[in-house]
Amino acid sequence: MGAGKSTLGALLARRLGWIFVDLDEEIVRAEQKSIADIFASIGESSFRELERAALAQTLQHERIVLALGGGAIETDANRQLLQEDRETLLLYLEAPLDVLMTRCEQQQMENKAVRRPVMERRAELAQRFLRRQPLYESAHWTLHTSGRSPEEIVDAILLQWKQTPWIECTESA
């Protein structure tokens, strides 16, 4: 939340000539409910099963940049799907919690983001962040995002990608 997944993912996909997929948006479209409404109606464990199924289906596509919801990595089945896919490169867009919270507050003030109830429960948010952090840090790459523009971050991703044996990285014109 606030890491820049949607902004950076769309920009990276555009630079690569790939498709950008936001997994939460896929779930919202399929269920025709907001994430908050899904959580409220079926609970987190049922939402995580929807998420796992959507992830498995999405990973069947090639040349996509995929933004995962912040909790997706907590589910063992999701981590297994990501680790088993040899063409998946998992990036952690790292920033301190206070920076992430400031970004979310700015997005809400600018009406670019839905209201996030967890923002009102700061202690719970901090605990969740600390619980997830080791899982985020297990990503293939960590990119520090504080104080960098989206373009600078995408440039750094592409530079590292070109210098690392992985899937062929060719920017589109």
Residue pair 52/75 in contact by the 8 Å Cβ criterion: yes
For the chain, what's the residue count? 173
Residue 167: inside a domain: no
Residue pair 156/143 in contact by the 8 Å Cβ criterion: yes
* More confident site: 117 or 163: 163
Distance CA 49, CA 107 (A): 28
Residue 172: inside a domain: no
Q: Amino acid letter at 49?
A: E
pLDDT at 18 exceeding the cut of 90: yes
pLDDT at 69 exceeding the cut of 90: no
Structural domain count, the chain: 1
3-state secondary structure of 144: strand
Distance CA 62, CA 101 (A): 33
Mean pLDDT of the 96-115 span: 76
User: The CATH number of the domain where 23 resides is what?
Assistant: 3.40.50.300
* More confident site: 23 or 89: 23
Beta bridge partners of 20: 65
pLDDT at 171 exceeding the cut of 70: no
Model pLDDT, residue 101:
84
Model pLDDT, residue 118:
57
Residue 52: inside a domain: yes
Alpha-carbon dihedral 81, 146, 159, 15, rounded to 10 degrees: 70
Residue pair 148/140 in contact by the 8 Å Cβ criterion: no
Residue 15: inside a domain: yes
pLDDT at 111 exceeding the cut of 90: no
Q: What is the tens place of the pLDDT at every residue in 48-59? A: 999 999 999 999
Average pLDDT over the chain, rounded to an integer: 87
Residue 173: inside a domain: no
* Reported confidence tier of residue 125, pLDDT bands at 50, 70, 90: confident
pLDDT at 4 exceeding the cut of 90: no
Distance CA 166, CA 163 (A): 9
Residue pair 89/141 in contact by the 8 Å Cβ criterion: yes
* Reported confidence tier of residue 29, pLDDT bands at 50, 70, 90: very high
| Structural domain that includes position 41 | 5-162
Q: Which residue has the tokens 């920017």?
A: 171
